Amino acid sequence: MADFDLAVIGAGASGTAVARDAAGRGIKVLLLEQNDLATGASFAPGMPVCGALGTRRRGAFGAFRTALMERETMLATAPHLVQAQRLVLLPQDSGRSPLALRARLFGCDYFTRRRILPPTEVLDLTHHACGTALRRQFDYGFACWDCRADEIRLPIANARDAAERGAVVRLRTRFVRAERSKTWALVLSAGGEREVVTAHALVNAAGASVQQVAARALPMAPPPPIRCIKETYIVTGRQFDHDGGYLLPDRRDGRFILVLPIGEDASLIGPVEQDLLDAAAPASPTAEEIASLCALYNHFFRQVIHPKDVLPFARVRVTPAGRRRSATPRGFGGVLHFDQPSGLAPLVTIRGGMVMMARRLAQSVVDRLSWCLRGAPAWTGHSSLPGGDLTPDRCETLVAESKQRWPFLDAYQVRRLASSYGTRIDRVLGNAAQAADLGERFGRDLTAAEVGYLMREEWAQTADDVLWRRSSLGIGFAKEDHEALMRFMAVQRNAPSAGRDVGVVGKAYRAREHDPEKSADCSDKVMRQNTE
């Protein structure tokens, strides 16, 4: 008997979604990640997700339509993390016909069965608030609506829901190698100790490391072809006072560059894309990429920005390489490869994938594995993520109710907490009656109460886990506040209750490794302890 039904390698958007879907069907799941949650392509501030104006492959209309329709599902199941975003498209200088762009936007409205998002409209920017920050020659634009997903919080919410439904989440645990028979035997390394666990099926969702994981699982087979793309962004001061964003045409490659508000006083601009030959190489913005984003922004906006005044960062996005035909769905922003030889445990490899489409992709993976995992039917299309048990139109009500319950918080802090944790904001703030009840303050509004919640409920162990991989608070965070946060978390980690998830699981695995006959009993014990 295997320790787990399903092992998932990689805790990014795809891996956490697969773990959640499977755990919700009653399948025993182990989720493995060599670093922290969402450290790869999922690490970025919230971005619009449908890509409706990007280049669409010929013959991919069905996949395109499916991707657009998924926005409505995510708006309904995670309204605090996926929100409607108005984008102003400036057709001038795009090299495309304005009529063709307008027809494309109309097609997006017509074919996607909108229930929540408003339709496209034409804006007179000479009299509209969205035109105030633009140069005078840009006198009209198209206001289209997309969904803005919190690409940091979505994988966290998926992993939290998976754990609450019985999945074992192991972070900072390296996958060393695997042996394949009727089950998978996985050799893991964590904290200087090696462990062996078994699973009936294996999913490789390692993102940029998918080829390395594939080589360790099937050393004689060629690694799956992937294409690694570096996306460079810059963060600058906010030059407009509305919540809309902009789509700026880049005539060099025909793509559109996003300008989005983040927080109260910053804007995100990007991306500029470049192929990476070495997926393991660090993704660092170049001076040329930063300058090109500044120049494009300056062409459209009145307020000029300079490379020395912006904060650049880059992330790596993985897409399938080549155009080889696949028997698996391509409509989810990635490709699934199923390897199921007779008499051997199955392997699923995920190449690429969009954060917004992770739910649909995960559903396809678990459906295909149902013959050996025997779980319940698909369920995620109508079940809320943690904190999302409210309708989209109640998000503002939640903010107002939270402000009334905790009146000592300022408007920005309440809105940030509500949009990050949804209805679980009370787990962060508890019964605090005054600001002092939330403990030490780090930076503008990060409190000891929130940090404690992230360590207790969301596996945060370091200051960077909190500032960059559980939130976007790292932008502009002062050095002295960072050091104070590090000291606070070091004390919390040494507390008796710290690290319970990893500690319990690790002890159980080590006990099983010394006494293989107790494998099944130990696995059941781990699952019970992890969900108590």
Over residues 153-168, the pLDDT tens digits come to: 999 999 999 999 999 9
Cβ pair 381, 363 in contact under 8 A: yes
Residue 331 has pLDDT above 80, yes or no: no
**Residues sharing a CB contact under 8 Å with residue 361, sequence separation 6 or more, in sequence order:** 14, 17, 18, 329, 332, 333, 334, 336, 350, 353
What distance in Å separates the CA atoms of residue 345 and residue 54, rounded to the nearest whole number?
Answer: 39
* pTM, rounded to two decimals: 0.85
Do 200 and 302 belong together in one domain? Answer: no
Inter-helix orientation angle 153-164/13-24, to 10° = 30
Helices (H), 112-256: 153-164, 210-217
Domain assignment of residue 310, yes or no: yes
Do 285 and 308 belong together in one domain? Answer: yes
Cβ pair 314, 287 in contact under 8 A: no
Residue 101: band (very low, low, confident or very high) from pLDDT cuts 50, 70, 90? confident
Domain assignment of residue 350, yes or no: yes
Give the tens place of pLDDT for each residue, 268-294.
999 998 888 776 667 889 999 999 999
Residue 445 has pLDDT above 70, yes or no: yes
As a whole number, the mean pLDDT across the chain is 84
Domain assignment of residue 218, yes or no: yes
Domain assignment of residue 309, yes or no: yes
Do 200 and 329 belong together in one domain? Answer: yes
Cβ pair 79, 395 in contact under 8 A: yes
Mean pLDDT value of segment 201-224: 85
Cβ-based neighbour number of residue 185 at 10 Å: 16
Cβ pair 343, 269 in contact under 8 A: no
Domain assignment of residue 300, yes or no: yes
Question: Domain of 343?
Answer: 4-42+153-225+322-382
Please choose, from the candidates 86, 105, 65, 85, the residue with its C-alpha nearest in 3D space to the C-alpha of residue 148.
85
Percent of the chain with pLDDT over 70: 84
Residue 314 has pLDDT above 80, yes or no: yes
Instruction: For the chain, state the CA radius of gyration.
Output: 23
Do 134 and 231 belong together in one domain? Answer: yes
Give the tens place of pLDDT for each residue, 68-98.
788 889 999 999 999 888 999 998 877 678 8
Question: What's the CATH code of the domain at 486?
Answer: 1.10.8.870
Beta bridge partners of 86: 145
Cβ pair 174, 158 in contact under 8 A: no
Do 142 and 233 belong together in one domain? Answer: yes
The pLDDT, as a whole number, for residue 514 is 38
Token digits for 141? 């634009």
What distance in Å separates the CA atoms of residue 444 and residue 342, rounded to the nearest whole number?
Answer: 58
Give the tens place of pLDDT for each residue, 124-146.
999 999 999 999 999 999 998 88
Give the tens place of pLDDT for each residue, 465-514.
999 899 888 877 999 999 999 999 999 988 765 444 433 333 333 333 33
Domain assignment of residue 190, yes or no: yes
Side-chain-side CA neighbours of 115 within 13 Å: the count stands at: 11
Residue 47: band (very low, low, confident or very high) from pLDDT cuts 50, 70, 90? low
Give the tens place of pLDDT for each residue, 344-378.
999 999 987 778 889 999 999 999 999 889 889 99
Do 170 and 243 belong together in one domain? Answer: no
Give the tens place of pLDDT for each residue, 181-194.
999 999 999 988 99
Domain count, the chain: 3
The pLDDT, as a whole number, for residue 284 is 87
Mean pLDDT value of segment 31-57: 64
Do 203 and 339 belong together in one domain? Answer: yes
| Residue that terminates a domain, selected from 382, 412, 430 | 382
Do 237 and 308 belong together in one domain? Answer: yes
Domain assignment of residue 103, yes or no: yes
Please choose, from the candidates 141, 106, 146, the residue with its C-alpha nearest in 3D space to the C-alpha of residue 127.
141
The pLDDT, as a whole number, for residue 499 is 43
Mean pLDDT value of segment 203-216: 89
DSSP string, 91-133: -TTSSS-HHHHHHHHHHHHHHTT-SSSPPPEEEETTSSGGGTT
Domain assignment of residue 498, yes or no: no
